Amino acid sequence: MYRIRFHGRGGQGIKTASRILGTTLFMEGFEVQDGPRYGAERRGAPMFAYVRASMEPIQERGIIRLPDLVIVTDDSLIPIPAAGVLTGVAERTVLLINSDEEPGLWRERLALAGPILTLPAAAHAPHINTQLTSVLSTGAAANLIGVISRRTLEEAIRKELAPLGAGAVEVNLENGLKAFDLTVVLKGSVREGGKTQAASYDPPDWIDLPFEEAAISAPAIHATATSERVKTGVWRTMRPVIDYSLCNRCWWICSTFCADGVIRVDEEGYPRIDYEHCKGCMICVAQCPRHAISAIPEHGEDTGERQE
């Protein structure tokens, strides 16, 4: 059985990518499962989708824990533990990353022994067109799996994207097939994983809790603004940075217009961005009358604190 996991951000078209890949496998005669996973989070938040394909009936359910192929459409997700990109990645797992950094660098960084491939074309897709990264990875994945013909890929893209109109179909076809052709030499590098059984899974680190009354198991919360415990900074792909030499201290502009209320004023009247929660909408960049705020890309491990 093939077990494939896509990791990306809400809005990048991951759900569609897994759907298209699932359709190609179905058209090639496989039994297929495909499904997206996301919570209440929205555009920009980490999410994943997965595909299982087998010539035999699929009895497995739920999240894929031992993937044969992991596709990452946004490399800034890799260092985020909550995104779970590396869950179950073993020596035989192929990791396909949309990144303009070398596979060797990723191997070193992640200390992984298995095959790592990068798709720089996708990383260079224009920012607004992030959806294209998903079709690029679908195209590449189709060839890596090795059992999907170019023609099937073409048909599946047409079929799944038809509701978006002819223009969208053409752009996606062009990019999906381009990625397919680029990966020709790697055809078939992903191999089917064997049968798994519940017993073969490592048991998770369960903590057994006794059944408690509602008052204990679901206590009333009286604390205020607890949402601040949720670090929505991980949604960000671009980071707004204030150049304090240009800042006019008219905080009431950027701070009032900030949709998430994460720009506070310090004692000297300078706006300070809370990067733990800033989602990277860039309204502040658009509104600052002095153009003192600019957007810089978030990079791999460089997600720590940086201001000034």
Partner 1 sequence: MNEPKFRYMKDLPSARLLGSGTAMCAGCGGLQALHGIYDILGEKTVFINAAGCMTLLSVYPFTPFRGSWLYTSMASAPAGAQGVRDGLDILLEKKRISTEEDLEVVVLTGDGAAYGMGLSSTSGAIERDLDFLYICYDNEGYGNTGQQFSGATPHGARTATSKGPRGFTGFKKDLFSIWAAHRPAYVATIAGAEPLDLANKIEKARNLKGPRLLIAIAPCPTGWDYRPEDSVDIGKLAVRTGIWPLKEYIDGKVVHTKIPHPRLPVEEYLKRQGRFAHLFTPAPDTALIAEIQARVDGYWKGVV
Which spans of this chain sit near partner 1 (rule: CB under 8 A)?
Answer: 11, 39-45, 128, 218, 221, 224-232, 235-236, 250-253, 255-262, 264-265, 274, 277, 279-283, 285-287
C-alpha–C-alpha distance, residues 255 and 217, integer Å: 39
Nearer to partner 1, 187 or 272 (CB): 272
C-alpha–C-alpha distance, residues 47 and 64, integer Å: 14
Q: Which neighbouring-strand residues pair with 240?
A: 295
Instruction: Provide the b/e sequence for 284-302 (b: ≥16 CB within 10 Å).
Output: bbeebeeebbebeebeeee
Nearer to partner 1, 147 or 288 (CB): 288
Nearer to partner 1, 38 or 244 (CB): 38
C-alpha–C-alpha distance, residues 301 and 193, integer Å: 31
* Contacting residues for 244 by C-beta, under 8 A, at least 6 apart: 270, 292, 308
Least distance CB 263 / partner 1 (angstroms): 8
Least distance CB 283 / partner 1 (angstroms): 5
* Contacting residues for 249 by C-beta, under 8 A, at least 6 apart: 268, 269, 270, 271
Least distance CB 116 / partner 1 (angstroms): 30
Least distance CB 71 / partner 1 (angstroms): 23
Nearer to partner 1, 144 or 263 (CB): 263
Least distance CB 8 / partner 1 (angstroms): 15
Least distance CB 278 / partner 1 (angstroms): 8
Q: Which helix (H) or strand (E) holds 108?
A: helix 103-110
Three-state DSSP at 194 gives coil
Three-state DSSP at 175 gives helix
Nearer to partner 1, 183 or 232 (CB): 232
C-alpha–C-alpha distance, residues 86 and 112, integer Å: 10
Using alpha carbons only, give the angle 249, 226, 258 rounded to the nearest 5 degrees: 30
* Contacting residues for 220 by C-beta, under 8 A, at least 6 apart: none
C-alpha–C-alpha distance, residues 212 and 238, integer Å: 44
Nearer to partner 1, 61 or 229 (CB): 229
Least distance CB 212 / partner 1 (angstroms): 16
Least distance CB 242 / partner 1 (angstroms): 15
Residue 264 · residue 272 · CB < 8 Å: yes
Nearer to partner 1, 228 or 243 (CB): 228
Nearer to partner 1, 181 or 276 (CB): 276
